[in-house]
Structure 1
Amino acid sequence: MTNRRTFIKKTTLATTGVVLGSSVISAKSYRNIIGANDRVVLGSIGIRSRGYELLKSFTSMYNDNVVVKTLCDVDSDLFAERLKIASKNQNGNVPGTETDMRRMFEDKDIDAVVSAVPNHWHALSAIWACQAGKHVYVEKPSSHNVWEGRKMVEAARKYDRVVQVGLQNRSIPNVMQAMEFLHRGGIGEVFMARGTCFKPRDSFGISADSKPPANLDYDKWLGPASYREYNEKRGHYNWHWHWNTGNGDTGNQGPHQFDIARWGLNKKVHPVKVQSMGGIFGISPQECSQETPNTQTSVFEYEDGKILEFETRGRYTNAEAPLGVKIGNLFFGTEGWLEINGSTWKAYKGKETEAFAGSGMAEGAEVGGDSSFRTAPDSKGHYANFIDSVRSGNRFDLNCDVEVGHRSTVLPLIANIAYRVGETLRFNGEFEEFIDNEEADLMLTRKYRYPYIVPKNV
């Protein structure tokens, strides 16, 4: 827990205001904030798309003594609209703005940062923040490659920072309930988990390279990634489908369901084997610059023989299981099976077709006479869990510590490597490297572009 901020110490509250970005909170208003010593001051990095949703959520916590002081993005056109919503949610208090996250990290008033930058920036933004003494909420996947993900964990531990990864299912009561049900033997021993990402996506087209728009600092946007000329079809959101900046849908939506699959299997180690195959179907490479597969099947094997399957379908498809699972999970045990669709779950015994347990069911959700599964556990949500953990300064209070997020992120990352090299790969989890495959090992990291270099020693 950090002490009261410098800007509070330097301000005489009885006669002056507290400056927040470009706005002023009156002394009277400040006294009305509950628990001023527990105030959490945030910086928000990346405010487009997912970042906009996070901004709305965290600024809505203003009455819970959470303040977003600064917005940071390399696209200056985003500020006007984002400042409006931040001001509305924060009772008229308008954050300041930055286009360089390093300037934000220099601000001693800021306790923690919320990072929703593109995947290739996740690791470096989090490491820089930890080095500056900030706690971090970082979106999934936790990193763009395996090596830099491990560096994030090292930085969090070295600087004793709370780092939460945005795998929000870890804080959803019904999902938490389903995981506990599995771990207590609700369907016997779970021997296989399946994750699905069925998201039909059409071609986003192709265009020629061009000069970046004046409102975009392209050098900072590219950051650690290899240099490529600006192309609008590789920019906003479309960066997901190019290897230089993204990880395809297997590494986009996928991490959420990979995380649930690993969680349900109760695996706190990496798999020992991975294979993945697929391709781009229904979209012509002459009409779209997409590089990542839109159809991909990946299979992982753990040392004890248990299996994790994952399927990405980017074209038109049916759903699976009675709940109509498209973005969800299935678990198979020695005594039955379980399905999760969003926050809804149902479990089935043996060959029975009627669920005997599930979310919202008043009867039957018992294991060995334990009826605690009839009520989902309490949860204030993923964002509130992060804020509470920042206040306590205790990483063990987190629902998804960076180590947890990293282990779930490794799964789609090594699946993509297996897909790209076209081989079944053996993986040494202790050292996070492949066994006897130099080509695959090279893809565990990347060549970083100066000065946006993930350091070997964080």
Structure 2
Amino acid sequence: MTKRREFLKKTAFSSAGITIGGLGFSAKSYASIIGSNERINLAQIGIRNQGTVHINNYCNLKDSHNVVLKVLCDTDEALFDSKSRIVADKTGTRPELEWDIRKVLENKEIDAVSMATPNHWHALGTVWACQAGKHVYVEKPASHNLWEGRKMVEAAQKTGLTVQVGLTNRAYNNVREAMQFLHEGGIGKLYMARALTYKLRNSYGTAKDSKPPANFHYDLWLGPAPYRPYNEKRSHYNWHWFWDTGNGDSGNTGTHQLDIARWGLQKHEHPETIYSMGGLYGFNQDECQPDNCTPGTMVYGDVETYGHDKSMQETPNIQTALFKYEDGTLLEYEARGRYTNQEGSDGREVGNLFYGSEGWLEIAGNSWRAFHQGESQPFASSKDSSSEQEATLFSNFIESIRSGNQKLLQCDMREGFYSSALPLLANISYRVKRELKFMGDYEKFANDSEADTLLSRIYREPYSIPIPL
């Protein structure tokens, strides 16, 4: 079997017609040659925070899905020891370690890559991986800007590879049940959905530019983003709050909830009108003095926050957005990053609300409840699934690779692109400070060249999307 597979791999590569930008070799998809029982060799790209979630999930699939986490890759070599130890403890085998994604993609033994990098690397990493003949699991939002998201869709279509976007709610049984309930008219004809992300975030603080830590390959970490001197407040995890590398809370937690909203509304298209406003609220504008600075508190992401102290953050911590589709259907989004009340019947901080002609429905996590007209008690709800062992988007990814059936994917690249486009469009409206008309068929704004410039970016060579694909 091994010799046969190597022969087929070599045949596929020798007949390839796709050149990988900057990698210097050609490749072609060999998805169809992975047999039902063959091992799938995986490389994890990005191993901090969410990358650790990926690592644990794939290690758990070692026996049931015959997956080997063969390579861990990250630009920060300081992570290598602790993360490789997780793999060794769970699987009995230490993975190979690499800091340069390009070398991983040159490795012919790798069948698939899982991307948990900062947002600004999602598109380039996915396109390069597709051109190297690797299947891809890519975190949300699928892309950092809308243009490159479309190129990811094209790369997936052209190569025929399995590309899954990490919108994990798509795998939850109760969420899927809620979607079926809505689509079958459970609360009548839907006219509006709301996506909520109320997550208290204190100031991430300020810092002076400095030298990057030893063994942190900062230039490669920046990749497609403009060059800036290293600053710890723009680096690990904090990259979320800067336009060069992240998309704020709307592109972070918000993408998950916007995906559920669009899914429930059955909108397989872009909105026609977008309007978003907000700002950075609740933080001091002046630098603190040594005697009154707030002591740092370690939070998720292994970074510190500092109460109300001044922040370098660029993205808003309070944001509302309204999307209107061609048929008049509304989708609302709201992020509240300061102290707030909750919404829904039982207090929802992160979740979704749907409104129909006959009632409303709420989703929070892996549960849902529906209310008839103005009644206060639900007439339909999810079952308790706490004791169930649910499939995950990670297992669905592996199963789709092995079957060669793209229809099995619970969140393919196209679906992930349309959901990821929503926060990207909202952020453009927020940044230009006006309502925008979007021509979905062309993926351009109507008579607005300033807004159009934010649909893409100027890429820093050699980290640009190869055109043509």
TM superposition shift of 1:37: 4.0
* Structure 2 residue 467 is matched with structure 1 residue 444: no
* Aligned-partner residue type, residue 358 of structure 1: S
* 1:339 corresponding residue in structure 2: 362
Hey, which bits of structure 1, 4+ residues long, moved more than 6 A?
7-10
* Aligned-partner residue type, residue 74 of structure 2: D
Distance change >3 Å, CA 445–CA 395, structure 1 → 2: same
The C-alpha deviation readout for 1:95-139, integer Å capped at 9, x for no partner, is: 101110111111111110000000000000000000000000000
Is contact 2:88-2:94 (8 Å) kept?
A: yes
* Aligned-partner residue type, residue 350 of structure 1: Q
Unaligned runs of 5+ in 2: 11-34, 287-309
* 2:306 corresponding residue in structure 1: none
* 1:156 corresponding residue in structure 2: 156
1:390 to 401, 414, 423: 401
TM superposition shift of 1:456: 2.9
* Aligned-partner residue type, residue 249 of structure 1: D
Scaled by the length of structure 2, what TM-score is found?
0.87
Unaligned runs of 5+ in 1: 11-34, 362-373
Residues 52-451 of structure 1: pairs in structure 2 closer than 5 A: 52-64=52-64, 65-90=66-91, 92-286=92-286, 287-360=310-383, 380-451=391-462
* 1:51 corresponding residue in structure 2: 51
* Aligned-partner residue type, residue 362 of structure 2: E
* Aligned equivalents of 1:379, 1:82: Cα separation in 2: 25
Distance change >3 Å, CA 145–CA 9, structure 1 → 2: closer
Is contact 1:275-1:419 (8 Å) kept?
A: yes
* 2:22 corresponding residue in structure 1: none
* 1:28 corresponding residue in structure 2: none
The C-alpha deviation readout for 1:160-189, integer Å capped at 9, x for no partner, is: 110000000111000000000000000000
Scaled by the length of structure 1, what TM-score is found?
0.89
Aligned length: 419
* Aligned-partner residue type, residue 438 of structure 1: S
* 1:23 corresponding residue in structure 2: none
The C-alpha deviation readout for 1:326-348, integer Å capped at 9, x for no partner, is: 11000000000000111110000
* Aligned equivalents of 1:283, 1:218: Cα separation in 2: 29
* 2:25 corresponding residue in structure 1: none
Identity of aligned residues (%): 55
Is contact 1:139-1:167 (8 Å) kept?
A: yes
The C-alpha deviation readout for 1:31-82, integer Å capped at 9, x for no partner, is: xxxx884211100000000001111111121112110100000000100001
TM superposition shift of 1:210: 0.7
* Aligned-partner residue type, residue 334 of structure 1: S
TM superposition shift of 1:6: 3.7
The C-alpha deviation readout for 1:362-409, integer Å capped at 9, x for no partner, is: xxxxxxxxxxxx9xx995221110000010122211000000000000
* Aligned equivalents of 1:93, 1:337: Cα separation in 2: 50
* Aligned equivalents of 1:117, 1:312: Cα separation in 2: 23
* Aligned equivalents of 2:361, 2:3: Cα separation in 1: 46
Distance change >3 Å, CA 226–CA 346, structure 1 → 2: same
The alignment partner of 2:63 has SS state of: helix
Distance change >3 Å, CA 407–CA 341, structure 1 → 2: same
Distance change >3 Å, CA 36–CA 164, structure 1 → 2: closer
* Aligned-partner residue type, residue 88 of structure 1: D
Root-mean-square deviation over aligned CA pairs: 2.1
Distance change >3 Å, CA 116–CA 285, structure 1 → 2: farther
* Aligned equivalents of 1:164, 1:269: Cα separation in 2: 19
Is contact 1:4-1:37 (8 Å) kept?
A: no
Is contact 2:174-2:367 (8 Å) kept?
A: yes
Distance change >3 Å, CA 50–CA 171, structure 1 → 2: same
Is contact 2:147-2:455 (8 Å) kept?
A: yes
TM superposition shift of 1:5: 4.9
Range with greater deviation from structure 2 (388-397 or 116-125)? 388-397
Is contact 2:36-2:403 (8 Å) kept?
A: no
* Aligned-partner residue type, residue 445 of structure 1: S
* Aligned equivalents of 2:276, 2:50: Cα separation in 1: 28
